[in-house]
Structure 1
Amino acid sequence: MLSETKEKAELTAQIIAEQKNTVILTGAGMSTESGVPDFRSESGWWRKIDPLTIATAEAVEENYTLFHEFYSNRLSALSDCRPHEGHYCLERWEKTGLVKLVATQNVDGFHQEAGLVNVEELHGSIQRFRCHNCGVEAAKEKFMKKSACASCGGKLRPNVVLFGEMLPETAWKRSMELVEKAELVLVVGTSLQVYPVNQLPALTRGKTAIINRDETFAETDFDLAMKGSAKEVLLYMDNYLKNAGF
């Protein structure tokens, strides 16, 4: 299985090198190797808490104490986590002109922390904060202290997309446009269960590849499917690209 994964990783890297027009879509599996809990695995957040009771606009309005506790715990859990080598592989590929965009479902900001510039956060950012009522930006310290909005007195929240909310229009539109034009769409660490992001790979006229530790039941929809950790498979690709002169 390892040799098969490595072989497919090198084939994917060959496409990246030849086409120089890759869009990468990342999900929770890209961040778990940095120590960030995911959502749908046996140890994930949603196994412990029903998301529809907490990650919603209604929770902000009607059960703010629980909402605030959940997100402040997530922020505390992130404080000791850092980007891993796989994040830096993507940064290097972007710098050498191989990758045009990283569209991510992750809200941790690790891609930007690793130095990536062309990133679209499809589910927002847990590292930025705003008033739920008037939308005015706020500092992290204000949210953590459970302060009210300085502008209108409303409740502060992370700038993430909650269940039932629309995706950021600019991020979604740009991701769609670049996926449609891509020669390769590489999906890394996502189960492709969340709509509408799970529709993105089907928009490309180019090749598609997926890396995931667990079965997603969508592998047959991809030209290349690699089972393994995001970091390890990306490092296989990076070694190939370095040997190829990139």
Structure 2
Amino acid sequence: MFDLKKALACAQHVTFMTGAGVSTASGIPDYRSKGGLYADSQRPEYALSADNLAAHHDAFHEWVVKNMYHPAAKPNVIHRVMAAITNEKGTIVTQNVDGLDRQAGAEHVVEFHGNLYRLYCQTCHQAIDYHDYLKSDIHSADGGVIRPDIVLYGEPIASEVLQAAVKAIQQADLLIVVGTSFVVYPFAGLIQYADPKATLAAVNKEPLELPLGAHMVLGDATQVFADLA
């Protein structure tokens, strides 16, 4: 039987691949489950798209502010344990845009889809405080439209981010998938860069479709990581 604690102790470099399920315990809704971010939206992919931002920046701003920002959310035990492990010997590659990994103290994080709390004016590229964005998406200095530095539908992953993620996957002798159904691409495709000799494990309430030889740790991730702590 697979022993996650033992595997972590023996590993030289651990890479966590994480998704929205890591942050649900912090009060941030996931995307597609009942009650998730997309549950009541007719066209969620359009709401959070580059096309919507370009054509209807005011509607885009309203949707993002209403649905995406959760400033009261704090890192949970999963974030804290991952930060402690990766600060010593690893990396977190996350789909999450909430910044909670860094808030938990993680030093080695690849934010694959960006960070909601990094914002900039599209005209002058000046960094903008998110408190100002909550009030308006127009930069008072030049009238430019402000946007969060996240990957929208219809946009590619930045090459330097992709390279950092691939490097983290390649270096790992232990890969742990947490809080993601592992069906969203290109993120799920990163697994192809793993060392064939690396150990792959996933923590989830239900089994995931994983490559042959991977280990499935069934259970609530918050409990699994609390036990690791």
Settle same-fold status: TM greater than 0.5.
Answer: yes
Say if 1:176 and 1:220 are closer, same or farther in 2 by CA, change over 3 A: closer
| Matched residue type, 1:193 | V
Q: Give, in whole Å, the separation in 1 of the partners of 2:46 and 2:190.
A: 28
| Matched residue type, 1:226 | V
Determine if contact 2:45/2:153 at 8 Å carries over to the other structure.
yes
CA displacement, residues 208-235 of structure 1 (integer Å, 9 cap, x when unaligned):
011123443x145452112222211122
Q: Give, in whole Å, the separation in 1 of the partners of 2:222 and 2:186.
A: 25
> In the alignment, does 2:84 pair up with 1:84?
no
State the SS of the aligned residue for 1:191: coil
Task: Report the alpha carbon displacement of residue 131 of structure 1 after superposing the two structures with TM.
Answer: 2.2
CA displacement, residues 189-222 of structure 1 (integer Å, 9 cap, x when unaligned):
1011211110122321211011123443x14545
Pick aligned residue for 1:104 from 94, 114, 121: 94
Query: What is the number of equivalent residue pairs in this alignment?
Result: 226
Determine if contact 2:119/2:130 at 8 Å carries over to the other structure.
yes
Larger RCO: Structure 1 or Structure 2 (Cα < 8 Å, ≥ 6 residues apart)?
Answer: 1
Overall identity of the aligned pairs, in %: 27
> In the alignment, does 2:152 pair up with 1:159?
no
Q: Give, in whole Å, the separation in 2 of the partners of 1:223 and 1:53.
A: 35
Aligned runs of 1:218-237 on 2, under 5 Å?
218-219=209-210, 221=212, 223-237=214-228
2:55 match = 62
Say if 1:146 and 1:179 are closer, same or farther in 2 by CA, change over 3 A: same
Q: Give, in whole Å, the separation in 2 of the partners of 1:233 and 1:114.
A: 18
Say if 1:199 and 1:147 are closer, same or farther in 2 by CA, change over 3 A: closer
Task: Report the alpha carbon displacement of residue 152 of structure 1 after superposing the two structures with TM.
Answer: 4.2
State the SS of the aligned residue for 1:190: coil
CA displacement, residues 59-98 of structure 1 (integer Å, 9 cap, x when unaligned):
112122221111112354x122111112111122134x2x
Pick aligned residue for 1:44 from 36, 41, 46: 36
Pick aligned residue for 1:23 from 15, 36, 40: 15
Task: Report the alpha carbon displacement of residue 43 of structure 1 after superposing the two structures with TM.
Answer: 1.4
Structure 2: where are the runs of 5+ without partners? none
Aligned runs of 1:1-246 on 2, under 5 Å?
8=2, 11-49=3-41, 50-76=43-69, 78-95=70-87, 97=88, 99-150=89-140, 152-205=142-195, 206-216=198-208, 218-219=209-210, 221=212, 223-238=214-229
State the SS of the aligned residue for 2:39: helix
State the SS of the aligned residue for 2:191: helix
TM-score where L is the length of structure 1: 0.85
Q: Give, in whole Å, the separation in 1 of the partners of 2:212 and 2:145.
A: 43
TM-score where L is the length of structure 2: 0.90
State the SS of the aligned residue for 1:48: coil
Higher share of residues assigned helix? 1
Structure 1: where are the runs of 5+ without partners? 1-6, 239-246
Q: Give, in whole Å, the separation in 1 of the partners of 2:160 and 2:153.
A: 19
Say if 1:144 and 1:228 are closer, same or farther in 2 by CA, change over 3 A: same
